[in-house]
Amino acid sequence: MGDGWILGIESTAHTFSFGAVTSDGTPIPSASSIIRPIEGGIHPREAADHHSEISGELLRRLLSEQDLMMDDLEGVAFSQGPGLGPCLRVGASVARAISTSRKVPLLGVNHCVAHIEIGRAICGCDDPVLLYVSGGNTQVIARLDGRYRVLGETLDIGIGNMLDKFARHHGFPFPGGPEIERSALAHLEIVPNPSIENLELPYAVQGMDLAFSGILNAADTLVQKGASFESVCWSLQEHAFAACIEVAERALAHTGKSELLLGGGVACNERIRNMTSVMCEERGALGHWPPKMYCVDNGTMIALLGRLQMISSGPTDLIDSAVDQMLRTDMTAIAWS
């Protein structure tokens, strides 16, 4: 390629990913690897081991697949938080090593903000409300006075985490979300017009916030009492997604904004995309979602935000490059337009 580029390293949880953008900000697809535990959930230490073992191979894959030269590297960005400490530290260490050895700027970025910026860049939306639905996070976010503010969020587990746990309890390994989507569709083939009242589940909305552990327990109980896994998957999606869309709609109403952007791995789901379209159409707003490879955790979004930070506020000093497991969306000052 012969042109400058910025590397982005994503390592907040299950995914280790190297992605890039060109110096003018054009996204370059990532090389990624996801740890898939044979049983049980994700153990932070095991995920971190996976990340460090696969690191060299993934970087080589990105360089060869995308025809990138280390000599053209202009900066290296990494997820500084939020996430699992051991996983974050692997990405940060790799980024520091590359920055020091190649003498290029180091850029610590906020993972949640990266989901917003990749969506804005790729979907061409300007000032959206973001419905961020991922494994560990569920937040409704909008920009106000130089920060992305959290207008509502889960009070317990992330929606993806809830879907993954439900799937795991019934024999499907991580990531469970896609299997739940398949099973919900299988239910529709048998029962083309199911009624939401058929299977009662708690509703996850609490004011502007959400909560998913109650709905998880109730869904497990329904299967234990004899409801088919497929019918519960359908009902679970309807209830959980409707709750998210309701809060997102209220956020649009409160802020007066007219664009809704989906982000996070659960935004790969066709049903939540469809519900978003319907709601946006009804209120004259525009719904957007990036291609699936940019909904899930990916290094490209980290590179993209790193580039914005490099231009607007400069690099991260080594002394300020510690990871922050609890980094909040609204802790990052937004100095770009």
Binding residues vs ligand AMP (CB under 6 A): 15, 134-136, 160, 163-164, 175-178, 181, 264-266, 268-269, 296-297
Nearer to ligand AMP, 105 or 175 (CB): 175
Distance between CA 305 and CA 9 in Å, rounded? Answer: 11
* Min dist. Cβ of residue 180 to ligand AMP (A): 6
Q: How far is the CB of 281 from ligand AMP (least distance, A)?
A: 22
Q: How far is the CB of 337 from ligand AMP (least distance, A)?
A: 26
164 touches which of ligand AMP, Mg ion, none (CB within 5 to 8 A by kind)? ligand AMP
Tell the smallest beta-carbon distance from residue 136 to ligand AMP (Å). Answer: 6
Residue nearer to ligand AMP on the CB measure, 5 or 166: 166
**Virtual torsion, Cα 50, 173, 296, 328, nearest 10 deg:** -80
- Residue of 10, 153, 209, 297 that binds Mg ion (CB under 5 A): 297
Which residues are CB-contacts of 284 (< 8 A; sequence separation ≥ 6)? Answer: 258
Which residue has the closest beta carbon to Mg ion?
134
Q: How far is the CB of 78 from ligand AMP (least distance, A)?
A: 16
232: three-class secondary structure by DSSP = helix
Report residue 210: phi and psi, to 5°: -135, 160
Residue with tokens 């497990």: 220
The distance of Cα 227 from the centroid of its chain, to the nearest Å, equals 31
Name which of ligand AMP, Mg ion, none residue 19 binds, using a CB cut-off of 5 to 8 Å depending on partner kind. none
Of 105 and 136, nearer to Mg ion (C-beta) is 136
CA distance 121 to 179: 30
Task: Identify which of 55, 3, 54 has the alpha carbon closest to the alpha carbon of residue 28.
Answer: 3
User: Is position 134 an interface residue for Mg ion (rule: CB under 5 A)?
Assistant: yes
Nearer to Mg ion, 134 or 276 (CB): 134
Which C-beta is closer to ligand AMP: that of 209 or that of 297? 297
Give 134 or 329: the residue with its C-beta nearer to Mg ion: 134
DSSP structure class, residue 70:
G
Least spacing, CB of residue 297 vs Mg ion, in Å: 4
Asked if 95 and 76 count as a contact pair (C-beta separation under 8 A), the reply is yes
The nearest distance, CB 134 to Mg ion, in angstroms, is: 4
Q: Contacts with Mg ion in 237-296 (CB under 5 A)?
A: none
286 forms beta bridges with 259
Out of ligand AMP, Mg ion, none, what residue 15 binds, judged by CB under 5 to 8 A for its kind, is ligand AMP
Whichever of 230 and 297 has its CB closer to Mg ion, that residue is: 297
Nearer to Mg ion, 229 or 241 (CB): 241
From residue 78, give the alpha-carbon distance in Å to each of 189, 237, 312: 44, 33, 17
Q: Least CB distance from residue 295 to ligand AMP, whole Å?
A: 7
**Residue count at the site for Mg ion (CB under 5 A)?**
2
Contacts 24+ apart (CB under 8 A), 178-181: 178/268, 180/233, 180/236, 180/237, 181/233, 181/237, 181/269, 181/270, 181/271
The values of phi and psi at residue 196, to 5°, are: -65, -25
Question: Which residues sit at the interface with Mg ion, rule CB under 5 A?
Answer: 134, 297
